[in-house]
Every structure is written in structure tokens, then in C-alpha cells.
Structure 1
């Protein structure tokens, strides 16, 4: 395992991103079209769209790269998976509306991403965290894998259910 990032990230509107190949176009819906899960959007080739429970403030996040599926710890309250392609040999963690982020080297190829959250509901009820200590924390585990449909592995909070319901209600593709 290689730890690519471990630290705090500032979120607004409960959003952070992993840029894969270019900039986010600003259309949140496009990232989740045809997905079941509403926490990690992977339908745009440019980004992974990460939802948090907290609306505004600091959240904790760890990003790990594995050689194979690492499995998951049952202590995580929210767990979803998506597939994505890393076409450039680098991915970039971006805060909401940031010009620059944290670059992380990954081999070019197809990956599975497991996005896991803890204390998402408590953070959502708080809404805004003015402290330097995160209420909610997240882990993004990445490993090489062929593309597969997204899936919800575990959902315990009302806010995660809200986002899953929202994503499931979107059309399968963009309307022309």
C-alpha cells in the first residue's frame, strides 16, 4: 500500500474532487448520470466527484493506492465503489473552486475506487465546521481493476441515502 495523501481538505457545498484529465466542467449531475451511488461520481472522464456530509469547513481524507482490492473495514459507515481511468499518470485532489490541488502519481490505467465515510450524518447536522478538527472523515482506496458498475456497499446515514436517491433519479445519460 502507498499512502498518497492524508490530511484535511476544505469543502464547500459538501464537495471535493479528484481531477483525472482536465478541469471539472461545473455540472454536478453529469458526474452521477446512470449511477446508483450519490457519494462518488465517476461518469465524467475528467474527475471523481466526492460528496461529504459537512457543507462547509474542514474534513479529513486519506487516499491510498493498492496493488489489489484491499477489502474494507466494517467500521466505515458509508461505502461505495466506482471505476475510473487515470490517463495521465497523475491524479489531483482539489478543494471546491480551487485553482491548484495536491498531485499524486499513479500508473496510467483503469482503477476501482472505494470511497468510505465516517460521521457523515453528524457533520451534515453541524453543517459548518469552523474548527480545525474534522467531524467527518473519508478514505479513498484505489487499485487497478477493469471497469465495473458502481455499487453501494454500505449506507447508514440519512444524508447518504438522500444522495443515493438523488443519483438514482437522474437520467441514464445527458439529454441533447
Structure 2
């Protein structure tokens, strides 16, 4: 596993984005989730993933990692979803309203993305903090496209977002 980023990301309105399509604007949340079962990682728009955080405003701990093969599951995470992503360019970014963290991805092409959260519900309860109680892991590995899936859901807040996606 290669760590591409580890640090705090400023969030506003509870979201961030993984972009692999250069300077294009991130998709709106409803468009990013359209047709999906999960509501935490919207990958309906090519080359990007819209990410929901529990914390509304402040900063959250984020790690982005890449591996050559699917990483084993890790039980320390409360919420886990997976989506497919066509990585357009190896120069990507983890972004939010005020933050841009450049990423160098080892490969372009079809990838699977696992988005894992710990403390997601606690972040929602706090609403505003710097740093928030929630933390996130974004793992990427080469894989053929597959439908998005909810691997683990433990909080009512995550269930809410999954329900929102299902209805969009």
C-alpha cells in the first residue's frame, strides 16, 4: 500500500472530492450520486468521487492510499462503501471548498475506490470542530468497473445518505 496523502482536510457542508480529471469543477452532490445505492461516495460522474463527511464544518483527518491489488477489509471502520472510478490522469487532487491537496496516482484507468469512515455519526453530532472526531480512508486499486456497494453501515446518519442516493 502506498500512502498518497495523510493530513487534515477542511470541510464545509460536509463534503470533499477526489478529482482525477484536471481542473474541471466537481459535480453537484445529487448528480454525483445519481443511480447509486450508497450515498457517501458519489461516482456517477466520470473521473471524480464526491465524498460525504459526518462533520459539517471544520477539518477531518484523511488518508488516501493506493495499492496494486484489493486491500484486505479492516474492521476498525464504521462506514464502508465502494465505487468504481476511471482515473483520467495520474495527477489528481483531494479537494474541498478551501483545500486542494495534489495527489500523484500510480496509474490511470479503471480503479475501485473504498471509502471508509470512523466516527461518522460523532462528526454529525458535533457539527463544527477543528479537528472533528471523524476520520476517513480512501483506498484505490486497479479493478474493472463494478456497481457501487455498501460494505458496512452502522449509523443512522449514513443510512440517511444512502436513502438520499437511492431516491435521486
User: TM > 0.5 between the two?
Assistant: yes
Alignment map for 1:58-77 (pairs within 5 Å): 58-77=59-78
Counterpart residue number, 1:93: 94
Counterpart residue number, 1:168: 166
Counterpart residue number, 1:9: 9
Counterpart residue number, 2:112: 112
Counterpart residue number, 2:82: 81
Alpha-carbon shift at residue 97 of structure 1 (Å): 5.2
Q: How many residues align?
A: 167
For the pair shown, which has the larger CA radius of gyration, 1 or 2?
1
Counterpart residue number, 1:149: 147
Tell me if the contact between 1:79 and 1:155 (Cα under 8 Å) persists in the aligned partners.
Answer: yes
RMSD of aligned residue pairs (Cα, Å): 1.3
Counterpart residue number, 2:57: 56
Counterpart residue number, 1:127: 127
Alpha-carbon shift at residue 106 of structure 1 (Å): 2.8
CA distance in 2, matches of 1:106, 1:12: 29
Counterpart residue number, 1:174: none
- From the superposition, tell whether residues 139 and 74 of structure 1 become closer, same or farther in structure 2 (CA, over 3 Å): same
Normalising by structure 2, report the TM-score.
0.94
Tell me if the contact between 1:86 and 1:106 (Cα under 8 Å) persists in the aligned partners.
Answer: no
Tell me if the contact between 2:91 and 2:102 (Cα under 8 Å) persists in the aligned partners.
Answer: no
* 3-state DSSP of counterpart to 1:101: strand
CA distance in 1, matches of 2:7, 2:149: 26
